[in-house]
């Protein structure tokens, strides 16, 4: 496999959970390539935020999209060329704030793509304002007295929306995260990996996560249990919560056709 590093200077804060995600992703790419997927067929999109910088640190194809819109562009890529494995990196502000609609609809459509949700509970790049996943009481520049909103719970939200693979991992558990990403990408349908990602600068959750994170041994055998475990307070469970088979959008739309590869030239088009 060719080198997928770039020479772009890394500007994440030292100790940022994004490093763990970058390293785990590289590892999962190596596993995918080993399993026979062409590196050229792995295409990423990402939104705007600290998470999005991962685009520049990977010498791989993709689109560095608009804030909140990366998952819409990811769907456009998949629809155009279903041979591609499309992976979207989103921040919690990006994918559950500005671009929430695209996240829910990608799940609703069971679009065959993967969302890696960098859950750092804050808007890192714009200096630590509260995010859709920040807890009540979170103090940031826009909520100096503490957030008065209750955060979303991404796993129940996406389960309800129709995602068919839902997992959680932790940026500090490299192997667990790499394997979870690989499983998510291999899943046929909309897959999401919520990654617990400490932001050392604005919301340092390392000691909390190190204490609370617990690995699930198996996929919960029903949705209720999955929800219970995903929202448990005694521990932050990581692992796969849901893995289901449902028809995927592009196959429902056009079967085994490939719009980008099977394009018809003007001469063959009759109007």
Partner 1 sequence: MDERVFTITVGGRAGEGVKKAAQVIAHIFCAAGWNVCQADDYQSLIRGGHNFSTVSTSQTPVYCAHQNHDLLICFDQRSIDKHLKRLKDGALLFYNSDEAQCEQGIPIPMNSLMKKHYHGASNVSLAALAIFAALAGMTQEQLQEQIVQQYRRDIEENTAYAMEIYGMVSQRCDYGLDWSVNKPFHFVSGIQAIILGASKAGLDFFYGYPMTPASSLLHYAALKQESLNLFAIHAESELAAINMALGSAMAGCRTAVGSSGGGFALMQEGFSAAGMVEAPLLCILSSRPGPATGASTYTAQEDLFFALHQGHGEFGRVVASPDSNNRALSLSAELLALAWELQIPTILLTEKHLSEGMADIGMNHPELPEAKELPGTAGASYQRYAATPNGVSPLVFPGHKCAPDTVVKWTTLEHLENGVRSDSAADIKAMKDKRGIKAKAIQEACKRYQTTAEYGEGELLVFAYGSTVLELREAQKYSQRPFKIIAPIYLEPFPHEKLEQYRGKEVVVVEHSQSGLFAQFLKIKLDVQVKHLINKYDGRAFDPIELAKQIEELQDA
Largest CA distance in the chain: 65
Nearest-approach distance from CB 108 to partner 1, in angstroms: 8
Tokens encoding 60: 């791989």
Residues 5-64 that bind partner 1 (CB under 8 A): 6, 8, 38-41, 43, 45, 48, 53, 55-56, 59-64
Give Rg (Cα) of the chain. 18
Parallel, antiparallel or unpaired: strands 129-130 and 122-123: antiparallel
- 55 makes contact, choosing from partner 1, ligand TPP, ligand SF4, none, with CB < 5 to 8 Å by partner type, with partner 1
DSSP string for residues in 134-159: PPTT--BTTBTT---SPPP-HHHHHH
Residue closer to ligand TPP (CB basis): 120 or 147: 120
Please state, in angstroms and as integers, the Cα–Cα distance from residue 70 to each residue in 64, 102, 110, 175, following that order: 7, 9, 16, 26
- 34 makes contact, choosing from ligand SF4, ligand TPP, partner 1, none, with CB < 5 to 8 Å by partner type, with none
Choice from 75, 114, 119, 120 touching ligand SF4 (CB under 6 A): 120
Q: Between 247 and 266, how does the x/- string for binding to partner 1 read (CB under 8 A)?
A: ------xx----xxx-xxxx
- DSSP state, 84? S
Residue closer to ligand TPP (CB basis): 110 or 114: 114
Please state, in angstroms and as integers, the Cα–Cα distance from residue 22 to each residue in 52, 69, 197, following that order: 11, 21, 11
What are the helix and strand counts (H, E) for the chain? 9, 10
CA torsion angle 81 87 93 94 (round to 10): -20
Nearest-approach distance from CB 8 to ligand TPP, in angstroms: 17
Nearest-approach distance from CB 89 to ligand TPP, in angstroms: 9
Q: Does 175 bind partner 1 (CB under 8 A)?
A: no
Q: Does 173 bind partner 1 (CB under 8 A)?
A: no
Residues 178-217 that bind ligand SF4 (CB under 6 A): 199-202
Per CB under 8 A, residues contacting partner 1 are: 2, 6, 8, 38-41, 43, 45, 48, 53, 55-56, 59-66, 69, 72-81, 83-84, 101-102, 104-105, 253-254, 259-261, 263-266, 269-271
């Amino acid at each position: 496999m060719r080198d997928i590093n770039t020479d772009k200077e890394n500007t994440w804060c030292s100790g940022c959970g994004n490093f763990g995600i970058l390293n785990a992703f590289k590892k999962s790419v190596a596993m995918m390539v080993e399993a026979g997927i062409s590196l050229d067929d792995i295409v990423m999109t990402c939104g705007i935020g600290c998470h999005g910088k991962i685009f520049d640190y990977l010498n791989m194809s993709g689109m560095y999209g608009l804030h909140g819109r990366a998952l819409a562009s990811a769907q456009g890529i998949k629809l155009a060329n279903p041979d591609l494995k499309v992976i979207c990196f989103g921040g919690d502000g990006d994918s559950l704030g500005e671009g929430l609609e695209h996240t829910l609809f990608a799940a609703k459509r069971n679009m065959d793509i993967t969302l890696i949700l960098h859950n750092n509970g804050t808007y890192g790049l714009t200096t630590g304002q509260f995010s859709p996943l920040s807890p009540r009481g979170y103090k940031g520049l826009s909520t100096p007295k503490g957030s008065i909103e209750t955060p979303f719970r991404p796993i129940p939200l996406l389960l309800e929306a129709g995602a068919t693979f839902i997992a959680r991992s932790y940026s500090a558990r490299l192997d667990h995260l790499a394997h979870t990403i690989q499983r998510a990408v291999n899943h046929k349908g909309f897959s999401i990996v919520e990654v617990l990602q400490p932001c050392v600068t604005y919301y340092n959750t390392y000691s909390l996560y190190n204490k609370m994170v617990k690995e699930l041994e198996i996929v919960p055998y029903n949705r209720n249990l999955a929800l219970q475990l995903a929202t448990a307070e005694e521990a932050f469970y990581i692992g796969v919560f849901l893995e289901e088979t449902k028809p995927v959008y592009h196959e429902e739309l056009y079967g085994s056709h490939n719009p980008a590869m099977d394009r018809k030239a003007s001469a063959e088009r009759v109007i």
